Amino acid sequence: MAASRSYGDPCGIARALDVVGERWALLVVRELLLGPKRFSDLHRALPGVSQNVLSHRLRELTGKGVIRRRRLGPPAGAWVYELTEWGRDLEPVLLGLAAWGARAPLEVAGELSPDSMVIALKTVFDARAARDLEAEVALRLGDEAFRIRVMRGVLEVDRAAARPDAVIDTDVATLRSLVFTARPLAEALATGAVRVEGDRGLVERFLTLFPRPEPASPGRPGNG
């Protein structure tokens, strides 16, 4: 496989792209923003990438100091990849890029990974709508579990054990429909597509905190 290319430009943007500009690199970072993952977890979350390409990208990102590989302690004992401190500094960059990209036309079929769905929630979170809310929600998307804390306009997400006010147990497609297409929670509950424990009123409000971005307006050609 060819070696990584460089723009040969001293601009900070070009230097950043020299590090994370290769295909799949930023999506690997996206999948590690919420915690470490095994190679198999990454490959499952990025089904469009071959194992060879994923292995190569992980070696590159490790060599450049963006991620590291470590062995979990017992009883797991598995090898995982995680972001370094420098790698974690990419979070606001990715959230900004996600907010910009969310306004582009949706022309790709398929479904989000659980992590990318949660990051989408972080991207569009309406801090003003949550300015008086303090709550903790446990979100279960298949085998993945997240703790989401809303603290007066601040949203925090991690994989720590939750002491929730409410639990939402569903799949990515259902959550996406509840948040972004205004599917009624009552209808999803009636069909069994979602299960809620705890404060249902809180869940109803929680689902309104993530407004869908307005599509970008097409550019207008100049008259000159």
SS3 135: strand
Does one domain contain both 59 and 143? no
Same domain flag for 33 and 61: yes
| 170, burial (CB in 10 Å: exposed 0-12, middle 13-18, buried 19+) | buried
| Reported confidence tier of residue 154, pLDDT bands at 50, 70, 90 | very high
Please give the residue range of the domain that contains residue 143: 114-206
Q: What is the pTM of this model?
A: 0.88
- Is 123 in the same domain as 96? no
pLDDT digits (tens, 9 = 90+) for 71-118: 988 877 799 999 999 999 999 999 999 999 998 887 777 789 999 999
Task: Let me know whether 40 and 78 are in one domain.
Answer: yes
CA 179 distance to own-chain centroid: 15
Compute the average pLDDT of residues 150-171: 93
| Amino acid in the structure at residue 208 | T
Residue 1 has pLDDT above 50, yes or no: no
Confidence of residue 58 (pLDDT cuts 50, 70, 90): very high
Tell me, what CATH number does 138's domain have? 3.30.1050.10
Q: What is the mean pLDDT of the chain?
A: 92
Q: Three-state DSSP class for 132?
A: coil
pLDDT recorded at residue 224: 41
- Number of domain units in the chain: 2
Residue 132 in contact with residue 152, Cβ under 8 Å? yes
44 within a domain of the structure (yes/no): yes
Percent of the chain's residues with pLDDT above 70? 95
